[in-house]
Amino acid sequence: MENIMLDVRDVYKSFGGLYALNGASLRVKKGSLSLLIGPNGSGKTTLINTVTGVYKPEAGKIIFEGRDITGLKPHVIYKLGLVRTWQIPQPFYSMTVLENLLVSEKSKKGDGLLSALLRSRWIDREMELTQKAFDILKLLKLDHLWDRRASELSGGQMKLLETGRALMSGAKMILMDEPAAGLNPVLAHEVFSHLRNVCKSIGITLMIVEHRLDIAIPYVDHVYAMHLGKVIAEGEPQEVLTNSLVVESYLGG
Instruction: Name the site residues for ligand ATP (rule: CB under 6 A).
Output: 15, 20, 38, 40-46
Query: Minimal distance in Å, beta carbon 176 to ligand ATP?
Result: 13
**Closer by beta carbon to ligand ATP, 38 or else 57:** 38
DSSP E strand boundaries for the chain: 4-15, 18-29, 33-37, 59-64, 67-68, 82-84, 173-177, 205-209, 222-227, 230-235
Size of the site for Mg ion (CB under 5 A): 2
Nearer to Mg ion, 25 or 45 (CB): 45
> Whose Cβ is closer to ligand ATP: residue 99's or residue 178's?
178
204 — phi, psi (to 5°)? -80, 155
Q: Does 86 bind Mg ion (CB under 5 A)?
A: no
β-pairing, 173-177 with 230-235? unpaired
Residue 93 near which of Mg ion, ligand ATP, none (CB within 5-8 Å, type-dependent): none
- Contact positions with Mg ion (CB under 5 A) in 12-71: 44-45
Of 48 and 167, nearer to Mg ion (C-beta) is: 48
AA identity, residue 131? Q
Name every residue whose Cβ is closer than 8 Å to that of residue 18 and which is 6 or more positions away in sequence: none
CA-to-CA distance for 38 and 48, rounded, in angstroms? 13
Residues at the site binding Mg ion, with contacts judged by CB under 5 A? 44-45
